[in-house]
Amino acid sequence: MILPIVAYGSPVLKKKAVEISKDYPNLEELIDNMFETMYNANGVGLAAPQIGLSIRLFVIDAKPFSQDESLTESEVKELQDFKRVFINPKIIEEKGVEWDFNEGCLSIPDVHEDIFRKPEIKIEYQDQNFDTKIETLSGLPARVVQHEYDHIEGVLFTDRISNLKKRLIKSRLTNITKGNIDVGYKMKYPLAKKNR
Ligand SMILES: [Zn+2]
């Protein structure tokens, strides 16, 4: 089932999300719905707060990034296979020299900004079977995880841009909050007169 994605300005996007246990109700169905919602919106990642649930869960499928022709064969392979469910994740380590990448977000349609983050992370999490995993990631897989991880910490990529840039996109952000935008997927706007 495709779920509505909550838009910029919704309080749930600013909240630090809570951990969940194995008995979280209908978890399997929720994960399926999150993947379906993400694919429908052509996203590479979706965090639970973006569908209105303040829990520490996000899904990723980085396959669309593997199309880039400048990638090496091993990078292509890695991105094609980078489909994961992250439950109760904890970034243990972030290192390297920060690099910029043009990020976007399904909750902030049509806004893209260059964001600086460290290139390498080590993350501990539970997968969909609640098996504990530790992974070291770099490049784009790390980048997507960092963006989604921010969501469960109540942080958006627009919180990581300069005040000047933020002022430049302020009216666009206000329009998103009010629902004065055209999006190819279902959204829920905090200040819309009527949700479409
Ligand atoms: Zn996002």
Angstrom distance (rounded) from CA 92 to CA 152: 15
Confidence of residue 167 (pLDDT cuts 50, 70, 90): very high
3-class DSSP assignment, residue 176 = helix
The residue-averaged pLDDT of 57-74 equals 93
The residue-averaged pLDDT of 52-79 equals 94
Of the candidates 73, 124, 148, 153, the residue annotated as catalytic is: 148
Annotation marks residue 94 as catalytic: no
Alpha helix (H) residue ranges in the chain:
27-40, 73-80, 139-152, 163-178
pLDDT for the residue 192: 87
Q: How far is the CA of 171 from the centre of ligand 1 (A)?
A: 19
Q: At what angle do helices 139-152 and 73-80 cross, to 10 degrees?
A: 30
Tell me the CA distances in angstroms from 170 to 17, 25, 96, 158, 174, one per residue in order. Answer: 26, 38, 32, 10, 6
pLDDT tens digits for range 37-63: 999 999 999 999 999 999 999 999 999
What DSSP letter does each residue of 56-112 carry, written as one string? Answer: SEEEEE-GGGGG-TTS-HHHHHHHHT-EEEEEEEEEEEEES--EEEEEEETTEEEEE
Distance from the Cα of residue 93 to its chain's centroid: 19
Q: How far is the CA of 97 from the centre of ligand 1 (A)?
A: 23
Q: How far is the CA of 147 from the centre of ligand 1 (A)?
A: 6
* Distance between first and last Cα of the chain: 17
Q: How far is the CA of 146 from the centre of ligand 1 (A)?
A: 10
pLDDT for the residue 194: 63
Q: How far is the CA of 156 from the centre of ligand 1 (A)?
A: 7
Q: Which residue has the higher pLDDT, 194 or 175?
A: 175
Q: How far is the CA of 105 from the centre of ligand 1 (A)?
A: 4
pLDDT for the residue 193: 76
